[in-house]
Amino acid sequence: MVLLLVVDFDLDSDLAALRPLGGFFVLRTAPGRAGAPSGPSATLPTLGETYANRATDVHGDSLSFRVRTVTRSLRAAEVRVGASVAHQALAARLWSVALGCAALYGGIPDLDPGLLRWDAGGTAPDDLWLPEVRPLPGDAATVAQAVLDAHLRPLTAAVQARYRVAAGLLWGNAGSALAGAARELDGWARANGRTDVGTRACSLTAELFDHPLLAGSGIRTGTAFRRRSCCLYYRVPGGGVCGDCCFTRPPRSSPRDPSG
């Protein structure tokens, strides 16, 4: 028996509806056109290659390159701080693209790690490029598979293995990134009279937080989120704590604190 995937929405080839939402939501899709990633797009590694440490671009090991770059830019004394921040930044980009498309279009592009390319040398927000827009449904199960299963599982495993960052901290990053994307979408929807978009984003987010990997990452109240772990940003010189941190003030360093 052959199963056919039927979709009842349109994804334009440029995903233009994402542009008003800001840089975290935009996904580059047009090879060879103005605004494409710097350098020949074909040389950028896929995220699948990056997770498996098979990146072949000018940076060599793209994940390590990105972590070193972020660590230097933060002036962090510990590389695991840069690893955590880099992990959360990429998670935020993936959630923003998927949730933004699902809320605005009713569907998402296929974000298969073997298709989606990443410029580890780009500036923040992380520079992502998709060479082909293949439509998928925008339900919570599909979004979870596209982001959590296909990307955040292997990304989290790679960061945990290489930099000894606690798994609970990294899944806290994932939850924080999702909550942040939903909050931005809700704010944009309210400001632009698109209550339909805000409603879809909030509904999807609630379903996604029921996923076992995210259910214990924090406490949600409306669009507010308080995570149960710390991303380690307080260890950056002058960093302090984030708005959704489990801490209310920067703690003294302790091997047993929730920052992992």
Average pLDDT over residues 165-183: 97
Give the start-to-end residue ranges of the domains of the chain.
Answer: 16-31+44-235
Banded pLDDT at 4 (limits 50, 70, 90): very low
Parallel, antiparallel or unpaired: strands 107-109 and 127-129: unpaired
Nearest to 87 by CA among 142, 166, 202, 186: 166
What number is the average pLDDT over the span 214-236? 94
pLDDT of residue 41: 62
Asked whether residue 176 carries a pLDDT value surpassing 70, the answer given is yes
* Structure confidence at residue 192 (pLDDT): 97
Task: Give the pTM.
Answer: 0.89
State yes or no: pLDDT of 7 exceeds 70: no
CA distance 41 to 196: 35
